Structure 1
Amino acid sequence: MNLKAISGQRRQFLRHAGTTLALASTATLAGCARQAMVPNAKPTVLPRAARLESGVAELAPVRAQVDRITGIYVCTRPFRAAGPRLELEKLGDKAIVHNYGHGGSGWSLSWGSSTLAVRMAQATGVRELGIIGCGALGLTSALLAQRAGMAVRIYAKALPPDVFSMRASGLWTPDSRICDAQHAEDFGDRWESMARTSYGMYQSLLGLPGDPIEWIDGYHLLDTPAGQQNDTVSDEPEYGDLSSRIRDLRPQSVTLPVGSTPFPQASRRFTTMMFNITSYTRMLMSDFQLAGGKIVVREFTHPRELQALPERTLINATGYGARALFSDESIIPVRGQTARLIPQAEVNYALSTSTLSMVPRRDGLLVQVIGDTGNFNNSDLTPNRAASEAAVRQLAEVMATMRGT
């Protein structure tokens, strides 16, 4: 059997195996050593491992120009001070399992959170399940319920790509705005369980066609270029820091001296998981429908409308939408905006400074302002193009300092 066939079989196996964190970004680091030249011979190409061992990073520059912006996207992260709502509620003759309020960690915690939600649904003894919402939590809840032997129907007012989950940055950030510092201790054990379950599932999705999940290296520049320092004081609460609980899952960041990267300042190299959300969501939708799942496009404006559904047990995975549907005032919207640049396959690293972040997803390079104010308790979905263009210009200034550009 040739290598291509073996590789194909491996990907198929990973695709169907398994039922079962922070700086954000994407792609793999490529380092290289100088090639020894032999007269009248082709240059020697060292194995990738040897190139990485050299410790010299060769990084392609980002074409950071405002005319390469293909879209500006705004979402509202559903933050709850006490953490996500995961509980069973009786509503008329329906059992409603709530699975929402994950802040900036919806994709990151989706498999673990949905595992808990599906267990609650199973405890009601039903074989047919309805899912309200078709974002990260809705899709993973639906797939896990199918794998548990249940017949599943999704009800949603919007389907991918027209859901807020599609506007996430795409990094594995399981403790991003997940709770406030006051509730971190009480929520910690449940959070750790969700994070570890999700991590395990994501490892089983590596290497699939379209690279829905990737491990990438990134660089955090330690000295921000002149004119780009951020002296603003955060207007957001102190969020819970739970990362020490899963330190064993994450590669540790490394401080790199000046000269080891193309940038003129020292940096921290970090390694993280990245979601190529477009291909990942397409895979989830396809898997759900191939397993017999049904989708009904429908909007609900009041909980009593759920009584007309045929399923006796429902999982509510409506995210920020639960604030209006279930009058849950504990959900606080945290506005987030990204600009997407035309994809560059050669840019295979993430980059961040104190004021911006760049994530190199396959469907476009995501550029985001970080450390800005005015986003907490802000539900305005109007794109601010000037802010995104300013971030792209800042990125261009960083690129201009790279050696070889």
Structure 2
Amino acid sequence: MTHIQQEESRRNFIKQLGAAGILMTSFPSFAFNALTDPVSFTGLPPVNVSHERLIRKVVGLRPYRPSGFNLSVQKLDNKVIIHNYGHGGGGISLSWGTASLAIAKIENETQQVAVLGAGVVGLSTAILLLKQGKSVTLYTDKLPPNTTSNVAAAFWAPVSVYESDQIGEGFMDQFNKASQISQRMFQDLVGDRYGVWWIKTYFLGGNFDFPGGLNLYPNYKELTASTSPFNDHPITEEIHSLMIEPPIYLKALLDDFYQLGGKLVIRKFNQTSELTQLNQPVIMNCTGLGSHHLFGDKTLIPIQGQLAVLLPQEEIKYGYVYPSYDGLLYMFPRKDGIILGGTSEKDNWSLSTNEQEIKRILNGHQKIAEGLKQ
């Protein structure tokens, strides 16, 4: 790889990193170092990367708007629609934050609310409404584990959410506020029940933009060629961030929804006129990519992401992200597998596996594993 290629990949880092908004199960205690642990720069165990250890391939579609997520209010006959969709690669990361901002748009006297969608944004919104004492009915045609949120790496970093030259006035204030709210709420959920954990992560090549604010990524260190555990990466940034494991996390949210008295209706809406038949005067639209068809938002497109998952390795206690010259690579450990990413292809609606990309992902991670200092 040439120096020019490295610099080019660094500039494209944040756009590509949206794939890290893409899957996770309860991290055992061995998978995380305490924030107060001394930093060790040698001896990181390598991931055992081989096609023989591949246990599954995952493809997901992230709902992306170049202008950023939509938090707007729409009148539909006698209904008020409050939109909360289009989070790109930051859906799980931003979920509590945008849910809080969307709910703030509801008139206080409203008691009955409908929520559309049972992904992470819909469930978060419904739970916050229930905690306010609202009567909530959640409408969805898919439940976990069959939602887009389930196929997410879910490393806490709200990336690939917008194009900086296409956002409107005030959007960054919303984005930063949502990031701060959401990360703080996730801290209260750390533990086995929700499958939320702190994990040490390395950014190979540096130049991570720390979306939402550097304070959201504690224990930051910039490592040099002599102190980095990785060969061939003279600049490496080290942080701690949160990992959210969708299979555990979404099940816990659904349990909370029921325990708080939420009502669930399995129903698919094909056109907005059907929404006027609902009993609730306020409708929270958390349909994600479904808003492309249901509400005619043609600016909303998918970013296809693909993952390779290897057999688990209990000794892997760290993650990394590397914007290589030929595409993004990232690794996060998980109890039921090692998550290897990834891809980030705009306006690709296909859920089919690209075997060439799987090969690229495996080869790239194998080279990184071979380059660890021992």
Which residue in 1 is equivalent to 2:301? 332
Q: Which moved more, 1:108-117 or 1:69-78?
A: 69-78
Is 1:213 matched up with 2:196?
Answer: yes
Change (3 A) 1:401 1:297: same
2:52 to 64, 67, 70: 67
Q: Deviations over 1:213-257 (max 9, x none)?
A: 21111223349xxxxxxxxxxxxxxxxx98476223323342143
Change (3 A) 1:202 1:128: same
Is the partner of 1:340 in helix, strand or coil? strand
Is 1:93 matched up with 2:78?
Answer: yes
Deviation of 1:204 after TM superposition, in Å, equals 0.9
The question of whether the paired residues in 1 share the 8 Å contact of 2:82 and 2:283 is answered with yes
Q: Which amino acid aligns with 1:362?
A: K
Deviation of 1:369 after TM superposition, in Å, equals 3.0
Deviation of 1:396 after TM superposition, in Å, equals 2.0
Is the partner of 2:157 in helix, strand or coil? coil
Is the partner of 1:390 in helix, strand or coil? helix
Is the partner of 2:254 in helix, strand or coil? helix
Is the partner of 2:84 in helix, strand or coil? strand
The question of whether the paired residues in 1 share the 8 Å contact of 2:44 and 2:373 is answered with no
Is the partner of 1:380 in helix, strand or coil? coil
* Structure 1: distance between partners of 2:33 and 2:186: 23
Q: Deviations over 1:242-273 (max 9, x none)?
A: 84762233233421433652646543323222
Change (3 A) 1:328 1:283: same
Deviation of 1:69 after TM superposition, in Å, equals 2.2
Change (3 A) 1:94 1:259: closer
Is the partner of 1:281 in helix, strand or coil? helix
Which residue in 2 is equivalent to 1:254? 222
Change (3 A) 1:257 1:148: same
* Structure 1: distance between partners of 2:244 and 2:330: 15
Deviation of 1:58 after TM superposition, in Å, equals 3.4
Q: Which moved more, 1:173-182 or 1:257-266?
A: 257-266
Q: Which moved more, 1:268-277 or 1:150-159?
A: 268-277
Is the partner of 1:55 in helix, strand or coil? coil
The question of whether the paired residues in 1 share the 8 Å contact of 2:63 and 2:86 is answered with yes
User: Structure 1 stretches (4+) deviating beyond 6 angstroms?
Assistant: none
Deviation of 1:181 after TM superposition, in Å, equals 2.8
Q: Which moved more, 1:378-387 or 1:299-308?
A: 378-387
* Structure 1: distance between partners of 2:169 and 2:210: 12
* Structure 2: distance between partners of 1:314 and 1:363: 37
Q: Deviations over 1:118-155 (max 9, x none)?
A: 2223x163212111101111010000000010121111
Is 1:203 matched up with 2:171?
Answer: no
Which residue in 2 is equivalent to 1:44? none
Is 1:166 matched up with 2:150?
Answer: yes
Mapping 1:49-128, distance limit 5 Å: 52-53=37-38, 55-121=40-106, 123=107, 125-128=109-112
Is the partner of 1:100 in helix, strand or coil? coil
* Structure 2: distance between partners of 1:199 and 1:30: 19
The question of whether the paired residues in 2 share the 8 Å contact of 1:343 and 1:365 is answered with yes
Is 1:129 matched up with 2:110?
Answer: no
Taking only the aligned residue pairs, the percentage that are identical comes to 30
The question of whether the paired residues in 2 share the 8 Å contact of 1:175 and 1:242 is answered with no
2:134 to 150, 165, 171: 150
Which residue in 2 is equivalent to 1:357? 330
Deviation of 1:171 after TM superposition, in Å, equals 1.1
Deviation of 1:63 after TM superposition, in Å, equals 2.1
Using structure 2 for the length normalisation, give the TM-score.
0.83
Deviation of 1:326 after TM superposition, in Å, equals 0.8
Q: Deviations over 1:284-343 (max 9, x none)?
A: 111111112122221111011112222221111000110011111121222111122222
* Structure 2: distance between partners of 1:276 and 1:83: 24
* Structure 1: distance between partners of 2:174 and 2:153: 24
Q: Which amino acid aligns with 2:95?
A: S
Which residue in 2 is equivalent to 1:322? 291
